[in-house]
Structure 1
Amino acid sequence: MFFLLILLGLIAGVMAGFFGVGGGLLFTPILFFLFTSMGVESAVSWTIASSLFCTFTASLSSSIQQKNHKNSFWREGIVIGLLGSLGVYVGKTIVTSEYYTEDVFVSFFVILLLFVALLFYRRSKSNVTLQVKAEMPGLSKQFIAGGFGGLVSSLAGVGGGVVLVPMLNLAYRLSIAKAVSISSMAIVLISLSGWLQFALVQNAPAGITEFTLGFVDFGTSLPLVIGAFIGGFYGVKLNKRASASRVQLGFSILVIAIAFSMIWKLL
C-alpha cells in the first residue's frame, strides 16, 4: 500500500507539474477511489480532509517557489487566505452533515472539473490580452474571493485556486502572475485551515491506517505527498518542452477523463 501510494503520488506530481495546477484536482480522485474501495465509513469526509492535507504541503512548496522567483504578494494572499477560512468552516459543516452524500460530492466535483476543463480549453484558444490593474480590489471583493475559494476548497478537497485564479485574473483584472502568486499564498492558509478543522472533528470513524486525527489519514496522505514532490520536478521539466496551448488542451482532456471515471465509480 505504501509503495503504491508513492507511485500514485509520483504520477499525480508529474501531471501537476506538467500542467501547472495544484495537486488537489488529482489527490481528491485518488483518495476517493481508495477510501470507497476500502469500504471506509464517511469516505467523502476522509477524502476531502486528507486531500486538503496533501494540498497544504504542495501549496507551501509552491508559495516558497513564488517567493524565490520574486513574485510574492504575501499580504494580499494572507488576507484572502484568512477570509477563506470562514468559507472553509461553512463547507466543513456541509460535508460532515448527512446531506453531503457520495452522489452529491461526485456531482459537485464533476461540475468543478468540467468548469476547469472549459476554462483551460478556452484559454488554449484565446489570444485576447486583458487590461490588467495594478491595485488589489477592496476588502469586500477580497472577502467574496476568499470566502468562495474556501467554500469550494472544503467541498471538493482542493486548494481553491481553481476559482481564485480566474476570479483575480478575469473578474478583478490582476495579471496572471500576480493572481497565481496571491492564490498560492491564500491556498496555504485555506488548505491549512481546512485539514485542521477536519482533524478536530470528534468521534470520526476508523480510517485506513492507524495514523489518523479526526478525518485526516496521515498514513495515506504522506506517501502521496512524498511521491508528488518527486514527480513535480519532472513534470515541470516536461512542461518546458511543450507548447502552452497543447498543455492547456491536454489538461482539459485529462480533467474530462477524471470526471467520467468518478461518474463510472458510482454506476
Structure 2
Amino acid sequence: MTTYLLLSLAGLVGGFIAGLTGIGTGFLMVVVIPIALNYLGIPGEEIVRFTIANTVFATMCSAFVNNISMWRTRQLHIKETALVSLVAVIFAGVILQFFVLKESYPTNIYNTVLIIFLSYIIYRTINKLRHAIHYEEDRSRIKLTLTGMSAGMVSALTGLGGGSIIIPMLNLWLKMDIKKAKSISFGAIFSISLMLTIINLLNTPVANIHYAHWGYILIPVALPLSIGVIIASPLGTGLSDKLSSKTITIIFLIVISAVLLRKIFELWG
C-alpha cells in the first residue's frame, strides 16, 4: 500500500511540475519507479526497460491534459510542434526498438547518459540566467529538425519524455521564449510518448513476470501514476500562465539539478 501511495504522490508532484515547466513527468518518475519495481520483484536486468516504459506512459497522460490546456488558452504553435514531433517520433521509435529493448542496455549506461545530458543542460541554463540578454528568435526548419532528433533520442534512451532537451534547445539555441518552448514541448512529448507506449505494449519482457500482461506497462505502477498526473498537470499549467519566464526557468533549473544529484548517487553511491 505504501508503494502505491508513493506512486500516486509522485504522479501528483510530477504532473504539477510538468505542467509548470513543460519538461514532462520523467524527471521524478525515473527516481520513484525503480523503487516500486524492486518492491514488485522485477528482475534487475529488466529494471531499466520497465522504468522507461512506465515513465513514458505517465508522461503521455500528463502531456495529453497539458495539450488540452494549451488548446483552451490558444497557446498552441501548430507548425513548429508538428515538425519537431514528427522527427522526434521517428528517431525515438528506432532507438527504442533496436537499442533500448535489447539486452545490451544496462543500468550504468542509462545513468551515465542521464548525468552527462543533465549536466550540460544545467550549465547552459545557468549561463543564460547570468547573462540575461534579449535575442531575436532564430527559428529555422533545420534547427527544429535537429531539436526533434535530439528529443527523440533522449526520450528513448532515458524515458524523460523529451521536454528536458526540447525546452533548452528552443530556449537557448533558437532563442524562443520559454513559454512558447513549453507549448511546443507539450505537443512533442505527447507524440513521442504515445508512439513509445505503443511499442512497449507490443514487446514482451525477457523475464517471465506473471502480472506483466501489457508488455512493459505494469498496471500496478502505471495506474496510480497516471491518476496523479491527470489531476495535477492542469494545475501546474494554470500557475505557469501567472509566472514570468525567468521564474519558470529557475524552477526548471532546480528540478533538473535534483534529478542529476539523484542519478549521481545511484551511479556512484
Q: TM exceeds 0.5?
A: yes
Report if aligned partners of 1:17, 1:234 keep a CA contact under 8 Å in 2.
yes
Q: What is the CA distance between 1:117 and its match in structure 2?
A: 2.9
Q: Residues 4 and 162 of structure 1: is their aligned pair in 2 closer, same or farther, counting only changes over 3 Å?
A: closer
Report if aligned partners of 1:53, 1:216 keep a CA contact under 8 Å in 2.
yes
Residue matched to 2:75: 71
Determine whether 1:96 maps to 2:98.
no
Report if aligned partners of 2:125, 2:168 keep a CA contact under 8 Å in 1.
no
Matches within 5 A, 1:1-267: 1=1, 2-19=4-21, 21-36=23-38, 38-41=40-43, 42-92=46-96, 93-133=98-138, 137-138=140-141, 140-206=142-208, 210=211, 212-232=213-233, 235=236, 245=246, 248-249=249-250, 251-266=252-267, 267=269
TM-score normalised over the length of structure 1: 0.83
- Matched length: 263
TM-score normalised over the length of structure 2: 0.83
Q: What is the CA distance between 1:31 and its match in structure 2?
A: 1.1
- Structure 2 counterpart of 1:108, which letter? V
Q: Residues 121 and 174 of structure 1: is their aligned pair in 2 closer, same or farther, counting only changes over 3 Å?
A: closer
Identity %: 27
**CA–CA distance in structure 2, aligned partners of residues 206 and 263 of structure 1:** 31
**CA–CA distance in structure 1, aligned partners of residues 255 and 177 of structure 2:** 26
Q: What is the CA distance between 1:204 and its match in structure 2?
A: 4.2
Partner deviation per Cα, 1:102-144 (whole Å, 9 max, x = no partner): 11111112223323333443344332111115xx523x54432
Report if aligned partners of 1:121, 1:248 keep a CA contact under 8 Å in 2.
no
Greater Cα offset, 78-87 or 35-44: 35-44
Partner deviation per Cα, 1:230-265 (whole Å, 9 max, x = no partner): 344555677688776566445534433332333333
- Structure 1 counterpart of 2:42, which letter? V
- Structure 1 counterpart of 2:127, which letter? R
Unmatched runs of 5 consecutive residues or more in structure 1: none
Secondary structure in 2 aligned to 1:45?
helix
Report if aligned partners of 1:239, 1:247 keep a CA contact under 8 Å in 2.
yes
Q: Residues 259 and 211 of structure 1: is their aligned pair in 2 closer, same or farther, counting only changes over 3 Å?
A: same
- Structure 1 counterpart of 2:83, which letter? V
